[in-house]
Amino acid sequence: MAAVIAGAGLLQPGRATGATPAPGATPAPGAASGPRAAAPDAHDVAYPLDCKGAGQTVTAAAQGDLDGDGRPETVAAVRCDAGSGTPPHAIYVLAQEAAPGARPRVVATLLDPATRRTATDLTVRDRTVTASLLGYSSPSVPRYSPDVKQLAKWRWTGGKFRQELTDSTAGRV
């Protein structure tokens, strides 16, 4: 069974990214010349998400240079792989160490699963991470019917990610 799953993974099309360099774009100051560094693989990381024995699922990933160092980071929306329902997401930023053979690592948590939000439409553009967050206005709202939608943006500023929430809507999403 494991061989079939591994083989199926090799036959998949390449992963899409949420950021595309603009034509004529130049590397950030101080960036190494030569081949462009590869963004970390979102599926090659152990996330600090407690799923109580269930697996983890990466539902979206986007890449881009978030801190201006010339090396791309990956942003991943991850949730527990529950058999039913819609478990909340966590959003993590991954960085790839420069050493050959080094594994990517989680360097920041943008969305904690304790906020009980579901992330959709994850993108990285112009050094900004954007995601739509679906949630609930009260505990009486059924978990299958989120009624709040927010547009969240995170940008690396002053040595940390700063979050901005906009477009808050109440009512059926």
CA atoms within 13 A on the CB side of 68: 8
Dump pLDDT digits (tens) for 54-91: 999 999 999 999 999 999 999 999 999 987 777 889 99
Return d(Cα 92, Cα 127) in angstroms, integer: 15
pLDDT band at 29 (very low <50, low <70, confident <90, very high): very low
Break the chain into its structural domains and give their ranges. Answer: 37-170
pLDDT at residue 36, rounded to an integer: 64
Return d(Cα 127, Cα 122) in angstroms, integer: 13
Secondary structure letter of residue 157 according to DSSP = E
What are the C-alpha distances in Å from 135 to residues 111, 115, 150, 165?
13, 9, 8, 13
pLDDT at residue 144, rounded to an integer: 82
Return d(Cα 25, Cα 70) in angstroms, integer: 12
Dump pLDDT digits (tens) for 136-164: 999 898 878 889 999 999 999 988 999 99
The SS3 call for residue 108 is strand
Radius of gyration of the chain (CA): 17
pLDDT at residue 168, rounded to an integer: 58
